[in-house]
């Protein structure tokens, strides 16, 4: 396998995906415009990282679709949440399809049905937990966070329960840091509370790019 050529293709595809996602956010109903350049570059870099990790043997090749799916919309959605406190359906809903395709591809190349089962249970558990929290404390979690959580839980769950737990804890930690930054910098304010999307997205990307030596991700 020519990893050099493959890496160039993957990074180029990531640039296109990031740019296209930023355009979708700008054109969506209730637009949440974000800068196209950072979205394209950020996504290209993240896709390149996944490819390099596989090249160096840190990730089995069959696992690569999962981090690609997790990072496809991560930068545009994180910027949209930070700038507008919104996670538009135009990206959060397609992320379920993208996640399902990625998990299915990984299962076909790797552990098979057990990977799919773990991913589905992880996605349902994550979605259920966020739905419950949103019902109990609507001000602490937006509807966009709830919609996003299921697809990210699907991907993190595919890596195994330890990774899913770490991802959820890390997501909460990132949100707490943002809340602390808002307190320290009095000029930093968000509509409808502190955004939780960036924490969910960042934690999931880290979790699926560096899932550790878990049985479900072992070669």
144-203 confidence digits (pLDDT tens): 999 999 999 999 999 999 999 999 999 999 988 887 776 666 555 555 578 899 999 999
Contact 163, 211 (CB under 8 A): yes
pLDDT of 26 higher than 80: yes
Cα(113)–Cα(127) distance, integer angstroms: 21
**The pLDDT of residue 172:** 92
Which pLDDT band, with edges at 50, 70 and 90, does 47 fall under?
very high
- On the 0-12 / 13-18 / 19+ scale of CB atoms within 10 A, 106 is buried
DSSP summary character for residue 38: H
Residues 6+ apart with CB under 8 A from 41: 15, 18
Q: Which of 96, 86, 109, 203 lies closest to 150 in space, CA to CA?
A: 96
Q: What are 129-141's pLDDT values in tens digits? A: 999 998 988 877 8
By percentage, how much of the chain surpasses pLDDT 90? Answer: 73
């Amino acid at each position: 396998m020519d990893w050099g050529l493959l890496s160039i293709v993957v990074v180029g595809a990531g640039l296109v995906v990031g740019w296209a996602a930023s355009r979708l956010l700008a054109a969506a109903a209730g637009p949440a415009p974000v800068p196209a350049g950072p979205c394209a570059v950020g996504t290209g870099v993240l896709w390149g990282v996944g490819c390099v990790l596989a090249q160096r043997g840190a990730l089995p090749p069959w696992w690569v679709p999962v981090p690609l799916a997790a990072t496809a919309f991560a930068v545009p959605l994180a910027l949209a949440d930070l700038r507008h406190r919104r996670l538009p359906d135009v990206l959060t809903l397609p992320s379920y399809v993208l996640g399902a395709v990625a998990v299915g591809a990984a299962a076909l190349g790797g552990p098979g049905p057990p990977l799919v089962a773990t991913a589905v249970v992880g996605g349902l558990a994550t979605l259920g937990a966020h739905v419950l929290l949103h019902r109990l404390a609507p001000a602490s979690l937006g509807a966009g966070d709830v919609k996003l959580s299921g697809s990210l839980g699907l991907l993190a769950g595919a890596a195994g329960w330890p990774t899913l737990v770490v991802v959820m804890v890390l997501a909460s930690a990132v949100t707490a840091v943002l809340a602390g930054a808002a307190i320290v910098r009095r000029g930093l304010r968000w509509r409808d509370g502190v955004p939780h999307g960036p924490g969910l997205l960042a934690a999931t990307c880290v979790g699926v790019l560096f899932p550790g030596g878990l049985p479900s991700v072992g070669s």
